[in-house]
Amino acid sequence: MSEVVFIGTSDAFGAGGRRQSAIFARGERGGMLFDCGGTTNGGLNQLGIERGEVDVILISHFHGDHFGGIPAFLYASLYTDARTHPLEIVGPPEIESRVHTLAAALGHSLAGRKWTFPIHYRELRAGEHFSAGPAQIEAFATQHQPEANPQGYRVQLGRERIAYSGDTGWFEDLPIRIASSDLFVCECTLHGAALDFHLSLEELREHRDELDCGRLILTHLGEEMSHQRGQIEIETADDGMTVKL
């Protein structure tokens, strides 16, 4: 059995006073984070999830609300936790250089530090799959700003299959990419308006029958969507929400 804890469920701007994207999934053989937005460390601390439980950080794309929390996660693992077991950071092409550039820009370069644990960066391209920590991970391309190298994922964690959209607008292949998942965590930034690079509730209602998933949970909720939480027919995530699969 797997357990999924939503650490952060807001859009890029902290709509509704919630945290940026991060989802922790705990399987029988270990744990992983789907995205690690800038507010992730505070969220893990508040929810009592130890960083040491995270064996893999899986990044959907290079926007700060999805990978901005990695440098602080690494520093805290080193200086607060004295972590010793390996950490895998999996993401689209350029994952390692993007994290290094980000950390340097934030004022604490990762280079030249005496790490107490191995950090393995692994690039996963759309159409490829490999196993990392407790999971089998498969990547697919999404419809989002191309300069952020956007991807979504299908992850086999123990017996459960979890699909994650990352950030995306609607595209024709999305139903095929997430088909036969037990849980599909899908972004829904907007209520009515349609944008090329984000999904709206209106669009998801229109395509709901095409989505073959045991459970559909909406996240990355913008201001209007955060007010709709719990009042619509499709399930919506909230910070701290826990789901058992």
Q: Which of residues 155-184 bind Zn ion (CB under 5 A)?
A: 167
- Residue 63 binds Zn ion, judged by CB under 5 A: yes
Catalytic-role residue among 65, 173, 182, 239: 65
Q: CA-to-CA distance for 124 and 141, rounded, in angstroms?
A: 11
Q: Which is nearer to Zn ion, 18 or 63 (CB)?
A: 63
If binding is defined by CB under 5 A, does position 237 make contact with Zn ion? no
Query: Are the C-beta atoms of residues 30 and 155 closer than 8 Å to each other?
Result: no
Residue number with CB closer to Zn ion (160 or 167): 167
The reply to whether 65 sits near Zn ion by the rule CB under 5 A is yes
Question: What is the C-alpha separation between 197 and 156, in angstroms, rounded?
Answer: 26
**Using rule CB under 5 A, residue 137 touches Zn ion:** no
Q: Rounded to whole angstroms, what are the CA distances from 75 to 90, 110, 129, 133, 193? A: 18, 9, 29, 21, 39
Report how far apart, in Å, the C-alpha atoms of 20 and of each of 13, 96, 222, 225, 236 are. Answer: 8, 21, 11, 14, 15
Stretch of 7-15, 28-36, 69-77, 99-107 lying at the interface with Zn ion (CB under 5 A): 7-15
Q: CB of 147: closest distance to Zn ion in angstroms?
A: 10
Please identify, using beta-carbon distances, which residue of 12 and 243 lies nearer to Zn ion: 12
Q: Is 12 in the site for Zn ion (CB under 5 A)?
A: yes
Task: Extract the tokens encoding 65.
Answer: 């609300």
- Find out whether 99 and 130 touch, Cβ atoms under 8 Å: no
Q: Does residue 65 carry a catalytic annotation?
A: yes
Binding site for Zn ion (CB under 5 A): 12, 63, 65, 167
- Active site amino acids: 65
